[in-house]
A and B are shown apart, each in its own frame.
Chain A
Amino acid sequence: MTPHNADTHTSTPAGTPAIKTRRFSVSLVWIVPIVAVLVGISLVVHNVLQQGPTITLNFKTGSGLVANKTEVKYRNVVIGQVSDVALSDDQKSVNATIKLAKQAESFTREDSKFWVVRPRIGAGGVSGIDTLLSGDYIGADIGQSDTRAKQFKGLENPPPITYGEPGKRFTLHTQGLGSLDIGSPVYYRKIPVGQVVAYELDADGKGVNIEVFVHAPNDVYVTENTRFWNASGIDLSVGANGFALKTESLSSMLAGGIAFQAPPYSPNDKPAAEDHTYELFDDQQSALAPPNGQGQYMALRFDQALRGLKVGAPVEFLGVEFGKVVSINLDFDAKKRSFPINVGIVIYPQLLGEANTKLLKATQHDPADEAGGVRLIGTFIENGLRAQARSGNLLTGQLYIALDFFPKAEKVAFDPKLRPVNIPTIPGNLEQLQEKLEGIVNKINQLPIERIAGNLDGSLVELRKGLAQLNAKTLPGVQNTLGDMSKTLQSANSTLAEDSPQREQLSQTLDELGRMSRSLRELSDYLGRHPESLIRGRPDNAAPTDLQGPPRK
């Protein structure tokens, strides 16, 4: 026990032994506040050590940002908190001050991205649904840059590809965006393997560049020969086999999508490099079709109405499709006073395949030599090449252009200098048929049908009279005659019956006749042997047998 305590008394005399023991007594009780202070200091130190960098994010609106509440998350782990939300100096945006955690220091890289995660319903589905209840938070994605920054521009939309996901980006070029949107899926054999991450207009505004991201490991299927096509919507086609409905998937039907695939036979194909540019086709068929090659514009002039011919209608050569109609214009022919129709077509000789290559080889024609090509067409025309609008489908009346050889066609002068090349036309099958039918109908029209009908009517009246007469007079007579005839036949029948006396007499007569003929034969025989008996008469020594015949009766 201490005899003195300095704390309670200012007037306590301090003896030497008291100093010794004072320390002990002081330390015993004062340990408690010292420990408390140490704890406090350690808290402060810990706090200071944990303090990460402070950054400022610039957003368009402060919607969903609450100071000291909104968190910054990376991979759903909290890495910081909004400490202040304030308007920017020019009042055009909102500055959110963020206190990042110590270990999130790398998020101050210059190209780090920050965005507000809100519930969104987009093409690719619904995202951020958890924030409906929990409130918005700020999403972060770490950058690659080596330089650090304090000020960041917050993204309005979350970047579709985050956290350095492995895969490749490709650029697709197309005429219009269609129903695609950021987040629209990219399919490979109907399996979603990527998505649309960005799109923008061309520099000249004449097309759209769509950036897609294909996730690893499926990005190796994007090869240099790969074709991309728009898999949006429903493809309903009416063909000879009936209706065919094709869709990529239900979600792509609603949200749009892109599909890709390499043509079935593509040798020496290798995976495409990052940022390779492709054409985006409208549908799978056109995407996977062989390349069209150089197109050639040609003009046709039809003198008939071409109802059912549409721009885009196929052009066929001997039944093989190798081009399409690009324009249909009504013209006026001042000389003939008629309205011909000018049809522009584009043909792709390369689509004829083997025929084209072999023809080129046989004629030793260089595809680049345009005049030569025209000359070749000139020869074809001389041999009867004509264009004809044919009905592809009787039901819908769709027309297509057929190039075919008609050796009997009228000769047409071909002007090789005319551009575009003009191919002569002949009326279509249906039109020809129509014309013939028309001729027949005309002839029928010209017949004096009235008169014929009048005559015919008179004749018919006469005929009726004659018939009445026939009925009244002739027919009873005929009846009588028939009765008589029947009787006659009956008597004839009875005459000819087996047991009738006439029959008996007849057979006797016939027997007589037979005998008579026999005696006549004998007579003739006798006369043959003894011709002299005609003169001398019958000798007496004549054989009795010889004489027996005739006189037997």
Chain B
Amino acid sequence: MNSPPTARELNLCLCHTCGQPCDMSAAPTECDRCGAALHWRKELSLTRTWAYLLTALAFYVPANLLPVMKTTMLGSGADSTIMSGVLEFWQHGAWDIALIIFIASIAVPGIKFVSLALLLITVQRNSQWARKERSKLFRFVELIGYWSMLDVIVVALVAALVQFRALGTIEPRLGILFFGLVVVFTMLAAMSFDPRLIWENPHNEERLDDATQR
């Protein structure tokens, strides 16, 4: 390869906190500038990502099955789950809103699960396949991460605003909590993932080991 030497080859390690390249020849444990702990790669990146991803997946089930809010209009109340809300909007002809909710609440978390799982598996397999695209994929996942919070914010907003007693009230239900947790944990998973692992050289297995160890 004609690539320039990596930081590892120059025995340098970038401080995660302040960005200072530290000389690792003396094997320091802290950044000599800010005092933060030094790691070659993000600490336990794959394990944590997996754990958070699975947690988010576990919460994804009740988040979609349980009702997220209860709308009481003129005395008649109905619980609605995310999917029922989407269907209701769709049936009433508001397909644009239905599409937005569907993308933000169901599709985006799903895409994140698939993308993160793909990234994790390829990294674990040390795959050389489409590294650049995978890197783009990760940036995309990070970008759309918090957009799923849209739902939580909408529910919080309408629950706070629509309190007209007998005329109509909206109350949040348990589902929205799980949904929020799904979003939080997918974001945590994305944050735990170290994109540099995508570029890890398959020939330097020992050094990779080191990286994950620190």
Q: A and B, one complex? A: yes
Query: Chain A interface (Cβ within 8 Å of chain B)?
Result: 1-5, 7-12, 25-26, 29-30, 32-33, 35-37, 39-40, 43, 68-69, 130, 133-135
Q: Is the CB of B75 within 8 A of A133?
A: yes
> What are 18 inter-chain pairs, A to B, with CB distance below 8 A?
A1-B214, A7-B50, A8-B45, A8-B47, A11-B205, A29-B48, A29-B51, A32-B51, A32-B185, A33-B58, A35-B55, A36-B181, A39-B59, A40-B59, A68-B78, A69-B78, A133-B75, A134-B75
Q: Which residues of B contact A35 (CB under 8 A)?
A: 55
Q: Which residues of A contact B75 (CB under 8 A)?
A: 130, 133-135
Q: Which residues of B contact A26 (CB under 8 A)?
A: 47
In whole Å, how far is A5's beta carbon from the nearest beta carbon of chain B?
A: 6
Residue of B nearest to A44 (CB): B62
Chain B contributes a number of interface residues (CB within 8 A of A) equal to 30
B209 contacts partner chain A, Cβ-Cβ < 8 Å? yes
B44 contacts partner chain A, Cβ-Cβ < 8 Å? yes
In whole Å, how far is B93's beta carbon from the nearest beta carbon of chain A?
A: 20
User: How far does the alpha carbon of A30 sit from the alpha carbon of B48 in the complex, in Å?
Assistant: 8
User: How far does the alpha carbon of A130 sit from the alpha carbon of B66 in the complex, in Å?
Assistant: 28
Q: Known: A29-B44, A40-B62. Is A4-B55 also a contact (CB below 8 A)?
A: no
In whole Å, how far is A417's beta carbon from the nearest beta carbon of chain B?
A: 79
User: How far does the alpha carbon of A202 sit from the alpha carbon of B138 in the complex, in Å?
Assistant: 84
Q: Which residues of A contact B66 (CB under 8 A)?
A: 43
In whole Å, how far is B192's beta carbon from the nearest beta carbon of chain A?
A: 9
Residue of B nearest to A28 (CB): B44
Q: Is the CB of B61 within 8 A of A40?
A: yes
User: How far does the alpha carbon of A135 sit from the alpha carbon of B44 in the complex, in Å?
Assistant: 56
Q: What number of residue pairs across chains A and B have CB atoms under 8 A from each other?
A: 75
Q: Which residues of B contact A29 (CB under 8 A)?
A: 44, 47-48, 51
For window 71-103 of B, CB contacts with A under 8 Å fall at 74-76, 78
User: How far does the alpha carbon of A134 sit from the alpha carbon of B185 in the complex, in Å?
Assistant: 39
The 10 closest A-B pairs by CB, nearest first: A134-B75, A36-B58, A133-B74, A33-B54, A135-B76, A33-B55, A36-B55, A134-B76, A29-B51, A8-B212
B170 contacts partner chain A, Cβ-Cβ < 8 Å? no
In whole Å, how far is B151's beta carbon from the nearest beta carbon of chain A?
A: 19
Q: Is the CB of A32 within 8 A of B213?
A: no
Q: Which residues of B contact A1 (CB under 8 A)?
A: 213-214
In whole Å, how far is A99's beta carbon from the nearest beta carbon of chain B?
A: 13
Q: Which residues of B contact A32 (CB under 8 A)?
A: 51-52, 55, 185
Q: Known: A33-B51, A43-B62. Is A133-B213 also a contact (CB below 8 A)?
A: no
B11 contacts partner chain A, Cβ-Cβ < 8 Å? no
User: In the complex, which of the residues B45, B47, B208 has the most CB atoms of chain A within 10 Å of its own CB atom?
Assistant: B47
User: How far does the alpha carbon of A130 sit from the alpha carbon of B76 in the complex, in Å?
Assistant: 10
Q: Known: A33-B55, A133-B74. Is A7-B47 also a contact (CB below 8 A)?
A: yes
Q: Which residues of A contact B44 (CB under 8 A)?
A: 5, 25, 29
In whole Å, how far is B188's beta carbon from the nearest beta carbon of chain A?
A: 9
B17 contacts partner chain A, Cβ-Cβ < 8 Å? no
User: How far does the alpha carbon of A69 sit from the alpha carbon of B67 in the complex, in Å?
Assistant: 13
Q: Is the CB of B51 within 8 A of A9?
A: no
B163 contacts partner chain A, Cβ-Cβ < 8 Å? no
User: How far does the alpha carbon of A26 sit from the alpha carbon of B47 in the complex, in Å?
Assistant: 8
Residue of A nearest to B125 (CB): A10
User: How far does the alpha carbon of A26 sit from the alpha carbon of B51 in the complex, in Å?
Assistant: 10
Q: Which residues of A contact B205 (CB under 8 A)?
A: 11
User: How far does the alpha carbon of A42 sit from the alpha carbon of B48 in the complex, in Å?
Assistant: 24
Q: Which residues of A contact B47 (CB under 8 A)?
A: 5, 7-8, 25-26, 29-30
In whole Å, how far is A71's beta carbon from the nearest beta carbon of chain B?
A: 8
Residue of B nearest to A136 (CB): B76
B124 contacts partner chain A, Cβ-Cβ < 8 Å? yes
Q: Which residues of A contact B152 (CB under 8 A)?
A: none
Q: Is the CB of B55 within 8 A of A134?
A: no
User: How far does the alpha carbon of A134 sit from the alpha carbon of B55 in the complex, in Å?
Assistant: 39
User: How far does the alpha carbon of A36 sit from the alpha carbon of B52 in the complex, in Å?
Assistant: 10
B190 contacts partner chain A, Cβ-Cβ < 8 Å? no
Q: Which residues of B contact A39 (CB under 8 A)?
A: 58-59, 62
Residue of B nearest to A12 (CB): B209
B46 contacts partner chain A, Cβ-Cβ < 8 Å? yes
User: How far does the alpha carbon of A36 sit from the alpha carbon of B214 in the complex, in Å?
Assistant: 28
Q: Which residues of B contact A40 (CB under 8 A)?
A: 58-59, 61-62
**Which residue of the partner chain, among B46, B166, B213, contacts A2 with CB atoms under 8 Å?**
B213
For window 164-214 of B, CB contacts with A under 8 Å fall at 166, 181, 185, 205, 208-209, 212-214
Q: Is the CB of B213 within 8 A of A9?
A: no
Q: Is the CB of B58 within 8 A of A134?
A: no
Residue of B nearest to A26 (CB): B47
**Which residue of the partner chain, among A8, A33, A68, A133, contacts B124 with CB atoms under 8 Å?**
A8
User: How far does the alpha carbon of A525 sit from the alpha carbon of B45 in the complex, in Å?
Assistant: 199
In whole Å, how far is B178's beta carbon from the nearest beta carbon of chain A?
A: 8
How does the 8 Å CB contact mask read for B15-56 relative to A, with 1 for contact and 0 for none? 000000000000000000000000000001111101110111
User: How far does the alpha carbon of A536 sit from the alpha carbon of B51 in the complex, in Å?
Assistant: 208
Q: Which residues of A contact B45 (CB under 8 A)?
A: 8
User: How far does the alpha carbon of A396 sit from the alpha carbon of B166 in the complex, in Å?
Assistant: 62
User: How far does the alpha carbon of A135 sit from the alpha carbon of B74 in the complex, in Å?
Assistant: 9
In whole Å, how far is A139's beta carbon from the nearest beta carbon of chain B?
A: 15
User: How far does the alpha carbon of A8 sit from the alpha carbon of B61 in the complex, in Å?
Assistant: 27
Q: Which residues of B contact A130 (CB under 8 A)?
A: 75
User: How far does the alpha carbon of A213 sit from the alpha carbon of B31 in the complex, in Å?
Assistant: 89
Residue of A nearest to B213 (CB): A3
Q: Is the CB of A36 within 8 A of B76?
A: no
In whole Å, how far is B61's beta carbon from the nearest beta carbon of chain A?
A: 6
**Which residue of the partner chain, among A9, A30, A43, A68, contacts B209 with CB atoms under 8 Å?**
A9
Residue of B nearest to A35 (CB): B55
User: How far does the alpha carbon of A2 sit from the alpha carbon of B213 in the complex, in Å?
Assistant: 7
In whole Å, how far is B58's beta carbon from the nearest beta carbon of chain A?
A: 4
